[in-house]
Amino acid sequence: EKAGFDHFMLKEIHEQPKAYRDTMLGRIADDGLSVNLKELSMLDDYIRSISKVHIVACGTAYHAGLVGKSVIESLARIPVETDVASEYRYRSPIITPDTLVIVVSQSGETADTLAALREARRNGAKVLAITNVVGSSVAREADDVLVTWAGPEIAVASTKAYSSQLIAFYLLGLNLARVLGTQEQQTVKELIAALHQLPEQVESILTQSAVLKQVAESMANHRSLFFIGRGVDYAVAQEGSLKLKEISYIHSEAYAAGELKHGTLALIEDGVPVIALVTQEGLYEKTLSNIKEVKARGAHVLAVTNAGFEHEVAQSVDEVFSIPKTLPLLTPALSVVPLQLLSYYASLALGHDVDKPRNLAKSVTVE
Ligand code: M6R
């Protein structure tokens, strides 16, 4: 049932190209010019009436929601807040009938996420669920459902569900943009063409796992490490850090690269591994200067950057992993893959139970 892989996690990492294709299937027009999510019942008039979006989720799904915020704000120009479900419910959020609440849950059974959904509906908001399980509680109780067709995810550490949630957000963002007329046709065309390239690009990343295995094995000797990035790179950094903690039990922290010098830089000393995401063209120089700050304190830096920029980055870091070229908004769907592999190989090197980490359950049905 692991299809020749040693663990479900590795199998699921390798299933991402298929999960991307399946999640896009039938949702993009054949001419590649628009996205039309026909399964949604929300009418164009309703979409035009949305004044704000709340994205609510837990754990990895929350991290997908952080990217979702950037996607919806940049494509549809609607203000978005992303909340952890267990916080959202208790901060008396301002939910109005013109708030669209998006809950994200792989299992569709997470107690806090389900409770947030109920709270949103009680306040008269419409709820859209992004879930991987068609008949789940979240799917049944939401007004609309956008299914991620990632297939069953068995490993406790979420991989293909997260990245398929990103695809769902790209499609949703483009669907909202079509109705609201917020994007030029050329931009939409380029985004759709780039989306179609993602599955093959993930495949090409997967062929380079040997390099990541080596890096992971050297990371496994350290007690603590850092992930840094800006913009969507920071969102992916948070996901990379959670994945590593969850299955390798190595402490790590994700930091907005520009925020390091406001305190955390004090923790950087000789040999501390830092994984820097440098995929946002407009922010290259800024992140590179943060990398220099940690290098100057002795950090050992692995940069994940875009093909074409790797030589420039190589001058400031110890190791570079490059991801294929895509549009800045879409890089998370690629850059998360090397981070998943790093955690996998670190966990393996330390002899942990990769698929069933200690203290954790696949689906958290208690609050
Ligand atoms: O099923 P859900 O997406 O609602 O689960 C939410 C989190 O419990 C889940 O993503 C958790 O953080 C993962 N084990 C992380 O890999």
What is the mean pLDDT of the segment spanning 28-47? 96
Helices in the chain by DSSP H: which ranges?
8-14, 16-24, 44-49, 59-76, 85-88, 111-122, 137-141, 160-180, 185-206, 209-219, 232-248, 284-296, 310-314, 332-349
How far lies 204's CA from each of 10, 25, 170, 292, in Å? Answer: 15, 21, 21, 29
Confidence of residue 115 (pLDDT cuts 50, 70, 90): very high
- Residue pLDDT, tens place only, 340-356: 999 999 999 999 999 88
The set of protein residues with a Cβ atom below 6 angstroms from ligand 1 is: 58-61, 105-107, 110, 113, 156-158, 242, 246, 363-364
Confidence of residue 180 (pLDDT cuts 50, 70, 90): very high
Residue type, 229: G
Please give the distance, rounded to the nearest whole angstrom, from the Cα atom of residue 234 to the centre of ligand 1: 19
What is the mean pLDDT of the segment spanning 55-83? 98
Roughly how many angstroms between the first and final C-alpha of the chain, as a whole number? 32
- Judge whether 76 and 70 are in contact, CB under 8 Å: no
Residue type, 236: V
Is pLDDT of 6 > 90? yes
* Atom number, ligand 1, closest to the C-alpha of residue 138: 4
Please give the distance, rounded to the nearest whole angstrom, from the Cα atom of residue 5 to the centre of ligand 1: 22
pLDDT at 358: 86
Which residues lie below 8 Å from residue 90, measured CB to CB, with a gap of 6+? none
Ligand 1, atom 12: closest residue by C-alpha: 59
Ligand 1, atom 14: closest residue by C-alpha: 157
- Residue pLDDT, tens place only, 261-317: 998 989 999 999 999 999 999 999 999 999 999 999 999 999 999 999 999 999 999
90, 91, 98, 89: which is closest to 117 by C-alpha? 89
Please give the distance, rounded to the nearest whole angstrom, from the Cα atom of residue 156 to the centre of ligand 1: 8
Ligand 1, atom 11: closest residue by C-alpha: 59
Please give the distance, rounded to the nearest whole angstrom, from the Cα atom of residue 245 to the centre of ligand 1: 13
Torsion of CA 163, 58, 158, 101, to 10 degrees: -30
Q: Say whether 362 is catalytic.
A: yes
* Atom number, ligand 1, closest to the C-alpha of residue 161: 3
Is pLDDT of 364 > 90? no
pLDDT at 239: 98
Helices in 133-208 by DSSP H: which ranges?
137-141, 160-180, 185-206
pTM score of the predicted model:
0.98
* Atom number, ligand 1, closest to the C-alpha of residue 159: 16
- Judge whether 157 and 343 are in contact, CB under 8 Å: yes
14, 338, 342: which is closest to 151 by C-alpha? 14
Beta partners for 99? 52
d(CA 120, CA 101) in angstroms, rounded, equals 7
Please give the distance, rounded to the nearest whole angstrom, from the Cα atom of residue 180 to the centre of ligand 1: 32
How far lies 119's CA from each of 64, 122, 292, 321, in Å? Answer: 21, 5, 46, 43
- Indicate the top mutation candidate among 103, 110, 162 to test ligand 1's pocket, ranked by most ligand atoms within 8 A of CB: 110
pLDDT at 247: 96
Confidence of residue 363 (pLDDT cuts 50, 70, 90): confident
